[in-house]
Copies of this chain bind each other. A is one copy, B any other.
Amino acid sequence: MSSLTIHDLRKSFGAVEVLKDINLEARPGEFIALVGPSGCGKSTLLAMIAGLESVSSGEIRIDGRLVNDVAPRDRDIAMVFQSYALYPTMTVKENMAFGMESRGVPKADQEKAIARVASLLQIEPLLRRKPAQLSGGQRQRVAMGRALVRDPKLFLFDEPLSNLDAKLRVEMRTEIKKLHHRVAKTTIYVTHDQIEAMTLASRIAVMHKGVLQQFDEPQVIYERPANIFVAGFMGSPSMNFLAARTASLDGAAAVALDLPEGESVLPLPTGTKPQKAPGQPVILGIRPEHFTVAHRAQPGQTALGRLRLPVEVVEPTGSETMVVLRAGDTEITARYEPADAPKVGQTADLLVDMAKACLFDPVTEARL
């Protein structure tokens, strides 16, 4: 039995259908991330799970019980909002107690629960403050504390970190990860930051325009994306997409790229079946980190393609350097070790790790 089951779920606002046939299930204790670009319906889906939006059709079950028409208070869930939604006129302690108070939990038990969570999250010194007197990170922590005191069946998070600045976001991400290890509750976590999804989730559901694109483990989603959208969405900088065609190289199926510098023929990505006759258009997807400087090639590595391209922009970030190369009309971003980075105007000589590249159908956009 799974802790959350969503079956053929649909949602329309008036004539606009914002969620289409969503199927999803979370096993007990699992951490599921819901990612997708803005407006794809993540928050709507979460609100439906929470009971804050009505269901147009389909089923939502929590621990096997159909909850389509159950009020939020009776679903036994806890939720952390992007805005934190801390009650501004209550102290941190009152914020945490409010849910228990509303449910008539005895004072003594309230105190105990608050003490436990406050020590878990190390927010004891903040208990008497009002939310306005807290920093962003502290607020985030309190919002989590409020969700934790209740010991619910399901945790829902709606972009809990997106209001924090970059440094704090990274820290809190790690913290959430540790916390989930500790409490091991089923969690649905909405984010549009794919790194958060990758690092936190046991499975990721990628959504786009109300449709669930892929629902799988992070590594699978990253390495074998179901389609161009998922491939482009996951990973930063984005995967490079190149128009190519099927070809044959040394008798084996291969892909050919037409570049101003002439045609490059590369071996087929590992695991791709050569379904198509040679000469068919395909889209080749290569992630920035799957380029290697030619002279660093390690002996014995197979399935390597070689590209020579002019350098357009060099962006050193310190730990690594991103280099934008021109490949005809398209730009390719490649990741370099800072020491190896070329200069603008030079020509980069790169090996492509075709074992990790992907091929897509240009029409259906699905991976081949």
A56 at the interface (CB under 8 A from B): no
- Residues in chain B near residue A238, CB distance under 8 A: 167
- Residues in chain B near residue A173, CB distance under 8 A: 315
Q: Contacts A315-B199, A335-B319 hold; do A38 and B218 have CB atoms under 8 A apart?
A: no
A236 at the interface (CB under 8 A from B): yes
**Beta-carbon contact of B317 and A195 below 8 Å:** yes
Q: Contacts A38-B165, A315-B177 hold; do A322 and B199 have CB atoms under 8 A apart?
A: yes
**Beta-carbon contact of A315 and B174 below 8 Å:** yes
Cα separation A195 to B237 with both chains bound (whole Å): 13
A98 at the interface (CB under 8 A from B): no
A207 at the interface (CB under 8 A from B): no
- Residues in chain B near residue A312, CB distance under 8 A: 178
Taken residue by residue from 212 to 234, chain A's Cβ proximity to chain B (1 for < 8 Å, 0 otherwise) reads as: 00000011001000000000001
Number of interface residues of A (CB under 8 A): 41
**Beta-carbon contact of A167 and B322 below 8 Å:** no
Please give me the residue from chain B that is nearest to A315 by CB atom. B199
The quantity of this chain's copies bound in the complex is 2
**Beta-carbon contact of B237 and A316 below 8 Å:** no
**Beta-carbon contact of B235 and A318 below 8 Å:** yes
Please give me the residue from chain B that is nearest to A319 by CB atom. B289
**Beta-carbon contact of A199 and B317 below 8 Å:** yes
Within residues 180 to 210 of chain A, which ones have a CB less than 8 A from any CB in chain B? Answer: 181, 192-195, 198-200
- Residues in chain B near residue A322, CB distance under 8 A: 199
Q: Contacts A289-B319, A318-B222 hold; do A313 and B38 have CB atoms under 8 A apart?
A: no
Seed contacts A38-B165, A173-B315, A287-B319; 7 additional CB < 8 Å A-B pairs: A166-B193, A170-B237, A174-B324, A177-B313, A199-B322, A218-B316, A222-B318
